[in-house]
Amino acid sequence: MTRSAEIAEELVQEVFLSLWMNREKLAEIESCSSYIFTIAANKTFNYLKSKAIHEKYLDTMAGNNGGSDNNTMETIDFHESQYLVNKLVNQLPFQKKVIYKLTRDKGMSHDEVAVQLGISKNTVKNHLVETLRFLKKTLQLND
């Protein structure tokens, strides 16, 4: 459905992450295969919906500026930056990667992440600060 092996792999990782995050509920599940399929379907549909919204936004931006070269360069810069950030995040240690994705991609608060991962709010904050410092430093080196 994603037409990209790389995106499919990321979605599978998100499925396993979701299973791990909700591991205490697994004993209550009657059909594991249905449960995993539902998670995978939801992750895929959420990705496709997000992609459609993003493409609509880019189309709208292109329409507002008449498709100028400046807008094209901004779009290219945005995609390159997003690619670099995702690449760097995937290199992070597991816990830092999970914390970053939950706070940035899922929009969860530090408290929510702390409860979900069973760690302190300060640990979440410290990991996030270290991650953001690492990203900022590394991205500045790439300029």
Kindly list the domain boundaries of the chain, sorted by start residue. 1-64, 69-143
C-alpha distances (whole Å) from 44 to each of 6, 18, 20, 137 are: 13, 13, 18, 32
**Rounded to the nearest 5°, which phi and psi values hold at 44?**
-65, -45
Contact predicate 72/86, CB 8 Å = no
Q: 17-26, 69-78, 87-96, 124-133: which has the minimum mean pLDDT?
A: 69-78
Q: Give the predicted TM-score (pTM) of the model.
A: 0.48
Yes or no: domain 69-143 corresponds to CATH 1.10.10.10 = yes
pLDDT digits (tens, 9 = 90+) for 30-74: 888 888 888 888 888 878 887 777 777 777 766 655 445 556 666
Buried b vs exposed e over 34-53: b needs ≥16 C-beta within 10 Å?
ebeeebbeebbeebeeeeee
Contact predicate 18/42, CB 8 Å = no
Please give the average per-residue pLDDT across 107-129, as a whole number.
91
Q: What is the pLDDT of residue 72?
A: 67
